[in-house]
Amino acid sequence: MKNLISELLAKLAEKEEESKEFVVQIEALEIVIFAMLERMEHSERLAIITNIEDALNETQPDDSVNANDTTLLKQYLSRLLTPLTT
């Protein structure tokens, strides 16, 4: 029983580490994209943001994608891109 608990704790720790790495990768990409967009001319930045929003609106998820996941993605993109439109 102790071995089973020990193995489960080890797997849990491994998953937690993978999750932390994933979060760091996402945050790094966010910083890079934000910096790139911020350096662009306002009109170029708005054009890219509009293209992203249009592409997202045209995309229809299939049954394998949870509707909540799609909503979260749209909310996150909005939060990420809105400061760049001003």
pLDDT tens for 19-78 read: 999 999 999 998 998 899 889 999 998 999 899 888 888 877 677 777 788 888 888 888
Closest listed residue to residue 78, CA positions, set 53, 43, 51: 53
Q: What is the pLDDT of residue 53?
A: 85
Q: What is the pLDDT of residue 12?
A: 92
Q: What is the pLDDT of residue 65?
A: 75
Q: What is the pLDDT of residue 49?
A: 87
- pLDDT of residue 15 exceeding 90, the answer is yes
Element (H, E) at 32: helix 2-39
**Angle at Cα 54 formed by Cα 77 and Cα 85, nearest 5°?**
55
Q: What is the pLDDT of residue 2?
A: 80
Put residue 73 in one of left, alpha, beta given phi > 0 → left and psi -120 to 50 → alpha.
alpha
Give the Cβ contact number of residue 53 at 10 Å.
14
